[in-house]
Structure 1
Amino acid sequence: MSGEYNSSAQRTSPWVTAGRVIFTLALIGCIAFIFSNSMKIASVSTVSSSRVLTLLQAALRRLGHPALAQRLTDHIVRKLAHFCEYMLEGFLLMLCMRVYTRQYVWHISVPMLGGVLTALTDETIQIFSPGRSSQVTDVWLDSAGVLAGILTALVLMALCRLLFNHRNKE
């Protein structure tokens, strides 16, 4: 039997098991959140976006950027939301990949494919949501968010590895 897989004689660390459960549940929650937003009818989605827009504009004004607050639009907020949701998904997909395999860098295409499939499903759901439409550009934006999340996870994992290796040498 290959050394990559756990045989019945080998035991998985409780930390690895906990990581698998936590990251998998977080990923499922993230995807459920994305799909639930796509299922909202247009009027409900608009109210949610308007609420976030108002909060962001108020924060920008408090931070001393009233001109920037005025230029922030509902369209920008919606596109940023798409990017951020999918960046989180890409991050979680990469962390899941890490806790399930040691060769995660060689398998970057798996989380990327998962993210693109989520984006395609998301846009398909919107076709059937009253008052909503589907846009190919959103799939591209979502895919860019997934890639940004994957790269962020890889950088953070590399930094953790450097820190861990540095501490072990001392």
Structure 2
Amino acid sequence: MPKGKLPLETKRKTSPLVIFARILFTGCLVWSIWFIFRNSLQIAQASGAQSQRVQELLNALAARVGLGPFSLHTVRKMAHFAEFALQGFWFMLCLRVYTRHFVRHVSWPLFCGLLVAVIDETIQLYVPGRTSSTLDVLLDFSGVVSGLFVALVILLFFRMCGILWRNREREIE
């Protein structure tokens, strides 16, 4: 029998919690990609109006904490970064629930995140009033990397907590 392979009758069943996490994280990832593409498909006027509403909200919140107003350009770039950071976060969590070796396979979500960023900017080439930018692809990809990193730190934190918890129980015995 090949190393690492279990006979069919001794193969462990997947935990219902893992199945639930797979469904949840995959659903969140699909939703975030849908959200990104939906925003890219908006014509320039609709996208601009949505950005202005977000700008008004952010400026009202910023004024409460003593920050200056954000320009529309800054709001749009922050939105690009944030939606792709969320996508990167979900990519990493999806990777984790499908494999135990998520650090080894981190190139998968990196590539997929870059692919979504390129497709996103390509979509905008065909939408009336919208343009595409290589800098936006870089900004989007940096959002993906940031989201992956945040999720990775959280995952590693929980892994360390689990290791410490198991070792604590051994020390008590």
TM-score (norm 2): 0.90
- Paired with 1:86 and 1:109, the residues of 2 have a C-alpha distance of 16
1:19 aligns with 2:17: no
Which deviates the most, 98-107 or 9-18?
A: 9-18
- Paired with 2:149 and 2:56, the residues of 1 have a C-alpha distance of 31
Which deviates the most, 12-21 or 156-165?
A: 156-165
Q: How far apart are residue 63 of structure 1 and its match?
A: 1.7
Show the counterpart of 2:57.
Answer: 55
Asked which structure has the greater CA Rg, the reply is 2
Amino acid at match of 2:77: K
Show the counterpart of 2:45.
Answer: 43
Q: Deviation per CA, 1:57-93: give whole Å up to 9, x if none.
A: 111112223xx12xx1000000000000110111100
- Paired with 1:4 and 1:56, the residues of 2 have a C-alpha distance of 54
Q: 1:5 to 1:148 in 2, by over 3 A?
A: farther
Amino acid at match of 1:155: V
TM-score (norm 1): 0.92
Q: Deviation per CA, 1:1-43: give whole Å up to 9, x if none.
A: 5647995743111111111100000000000000000000000
Which deviates the most, 54-63 or 26-35?
A: 54-63
Select the residue among 116, 119, 134 that pairs with 1:118.
Answer: 116
- Paired with 2:61 and 2:5, the residues of 1 have a C-alpha distance of 50
- Paired with 2:90 and 2:74, the residues of 1 have a C-alpha distance of 24
Show the counterpart of 1:100.
Answer: 98
The total of aligned residue pairs comes to 166
Select the residue among 123, 129, 132 that pairs with 2:130.
Answer: 132
Of all paired residues, the percent bearing the same amino acid is: 44
In 2, are the aligned partners of 1:6 and 1:12 still within 8 Å (CA)?
no
The answer for unaligned runs of 5 or more in structure 1 is: none
- Paired with 1:6 and 1:131, the residues of 2 have a C-alpha distance of 59
Q: CA RMSD in A?
A: 1.7
Q: 1:133 to 1:165 in 2, by over 3 A?
A: same
**SS class of match (1:105):** coil
The runs of 4+ residues in structure 1 deviating greater than 4 Å are 4-9
- Paired with 1:12 and 1:49, the residues of 2 have a C-alpha distance of 43
Amino acid at match of 1:19: A
Q: How far apart are residue 166 of structure 1 and its match?
A: 2.4
The answer for unaligned runs of 5 or more in structure 2 is: none
Q: How far apart are residue 160 of structure 1 and its match?
A: 1.0
